[in-house]
A = this chain, B = another copy of it.
Amino acid sequence: MPDRRPYRREAEDKRREALISAALDLVAEGGPQAATVRAIADRAGVTPGLIRHYFASKDELTREAYRRLMERMTDDNAAVLDNAPTDPLARLAEFVATSLRPPVVDPVAVGLWAGFLHNIQRDAAMREVHAATYLGYRDLLQSLIAALPRAADPDQLRADAIACNA
């Protein structure tokens, strides 16, 4: 009865968002080992139990956080095309240049990526998330290459996109 922590009910989206971004912050700062359920909940301003109310397991939260990270990176990268030159070659050049510069690749993003790397290798579900976002990125790259003046057959196109990405 005494001294129970007061709280506010929040929308599901808001809580999930808070938990995901808390997890990303912690992974960026201290690596995977720092992103414990207790630390994540603490940073999100809730108690640890709530995590399992919104996510089936910590692994699922980790996957969602990684998905969020990848989406943010590809979106940041794609955003440069909004006010890019119209010349196809210049567009492609701008795109790949952006993909190697902040904010899509900066110390924080690299730290995050490093933190998730081994999860990707070990967890199959994580690999799916990785594959999904990667394919989306490659398709975008491929469409830019396809817009290039020189003609090319589809197979060559895909190979070029892969090579360019590497």
Closest to A28 in B: B118
Q: Which of B32, B110, B111, B118 contacts A111 (CB 8 A)?
A: B118
Interface contact A117-B114, CB-CB below 8 Å: yes
Q: Which of A30, A113, A118, A122 has the most CB of B within 10 A?
A: A118
Given known A32-B31, A33-B32, contact A117–B111 (CB-CB < 8 A): yes
List A residues at the B interface (Cβ < 8 Å): 29-34, 110-111, 113-115, 117-119, 121-122
Residue of B nearest to A30 (CB): B118
Ordered by A's residue number, 18 sampled pairs between the chains whose C-beta atoms are within 8 Å are A30-B118, A31-B32, A31-B117, A31-B118, A31-B119, A32-B32, A32-B33, A33-B33, A33-B118, A34-B118, A110-B117, A111-B117, A111-B118, A111-B121, A113-B114, A114-B114, A114-B115, A114-B118
